[in-house]
């Protein structure tokens, strides 16, 4: 049955940045598909998110690590493996943004965004990939963005990081695909999350954004959940180095 190819029963997943928003929705979806899930937050994971995963009946853990410091990525992978026994699926969702005109963008903010969104992501990929490559199987899903393709406005560090995430995804797929490890990315469109609250609150920018989205609405965290389950599942075993855009049609305009 084709639906069996989408099941994740018995697999172990780590979803970074899963304390809220898209990360929480992805973590719950993976659990509903049968995966055991290690949740992650920079300081903690809210009880309501833990409860949503617990309700699926899978094994789970809640971990904390500040990924503005890339060195913490190593410890996070080790804790997830200790909690679940292995990592079969890594979803690199954790990310931050800082807004300022490029001419005035602070170097400290630049470093913070790049360290969190790119360098920590790379370290997580490295650490998770070692046992995956030894086993000859694994799934890594990176969170890219529409700004992997476009420049954005007043978010130079975020755009630089997300452009790099897309290219890094392809580079890792080139090296690891033949050894049974699929590396892909999801590029969400404009999602109604805390990360985009400033845009949602700006009536002019929000109107401009909605006018370009053929679906006529902001995306919700749940809109990326199915894409994540697909890329984590055996159904995507021949997909490598792909950036799956989930944007309501934005890129088609």
- The answer as to whether 251 is a domain residue is no
In this structure, is residue 252 part of a structural domain? Answer: no
Give the residue among 93, 73, 241, 89 at the shortest CA–CA distance from 167: 241
Q: Is residue 99 part of a domain?
A: yes
Q: Please report whether residue 72 resides in a domain.
A: yes
Taking the C-alpha atoms of residue 3 and residue 212, their distance in angstroms, rounded to an integer, is 34
Whether 140 has a pLDDT exceeding 80, the answer reads yes
> pTM value?
0.96
pLDDT digits (tens, 9 = 90+) for 194-230: 878 888 888 888 899 999 999 999 999 999 999 999 9
Our count of domains for the chain comes to 1
Contact predicate 126/176, CB 8 Å: no
Find the domain containing 181 and state its range.
2-246
pLDDT digits (tens, 9 = 90+) for 171-200: 999 999 999 999 999 999 999 888 788 888
Give the separation between CA 108 and CA 173, rounded to whole angstroms: 31
- If you average pLDDT over residues 138-147, what whole number do you get? 98
Do the beta carbons of residue 27 and residue 4 sit within 8 Å?
no
Q: Are strands 181-188 and 243-246 parallel, antiparallel or unpaired?
A: parallel
Using a pLDDT cut of 70, give the percent of the chain over it.
100
> Does the residue 253 lie in any domain?
no
Catalytic, 238? Answer: no
C-beta separation of 73 from 65 below 8 A: yes
Active-site option among 122, 158, 176, 218: 158
* In a domain? residue 217: yes
Whether 196 is covered by a domain: the verdict is yes
Going by their DSSP bridges, the two strands 12-15 and 181-188 should be labelled as unpaired
Question: Closest by alpha carbon to 14, among 122, 93, 95?
Answer: 93
What CATH number has the domain bearing residue 84? Answer: 3.40.50.720
The residue among 203 and 170 whose pLDDT is bigger is 170
């Amino acid at each position: 049955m084709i639906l069996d190819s989408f099941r994740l029963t018995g697999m172990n997943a780590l979803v970074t940045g899963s304390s809220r928003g898209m990360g929480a929705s992805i973590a719950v979806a993976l659990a509903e598909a049968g995966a055991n899930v290690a949740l992650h937050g920079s300081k903690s994971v809210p009880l309501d998110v833990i409860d949503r995963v617990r309700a699926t009946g899978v094994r789970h853990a809640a971990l904390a690590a500040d990924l503005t410091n890339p060195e913490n990525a190593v410890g996070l992978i080790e804790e997830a493996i200790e909690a679940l026994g292995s990592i079969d699926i890594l979803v690199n969702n954790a990310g931050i943004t800082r807004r300022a005109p490029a001419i005035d963008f602070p170097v400290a903010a630049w470093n913070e965004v790049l360290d969190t969104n790119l360098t920590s992501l790379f370290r997580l990929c490295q650490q998770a990939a070692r046992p995956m490559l030894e086993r000859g199987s694994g799934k890594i899903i990176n969170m890219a963005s529409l700004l992997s393709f476009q420049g954005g406005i007043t978010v130079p560090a975020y755009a630089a990081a997300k452009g790099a995430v897309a290219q890094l995804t392809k580079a890792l797929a080139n090296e690891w695909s033949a050894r049974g490890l699929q590396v892909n990315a999801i590029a969400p469109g404009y999602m109604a999350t805390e990360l985009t609250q400033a845009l949602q609150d700006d009536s002019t920018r929000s109107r401009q954004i909605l006018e370009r989205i053929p679906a006529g609405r902001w995306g919700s965290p749940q809109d990326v959940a199915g894409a994540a389950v697909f890329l984590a599942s055996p159904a995507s075993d021949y997909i490598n180095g792909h950036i799956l855009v989930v944007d309501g049609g934005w890129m088609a305009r």
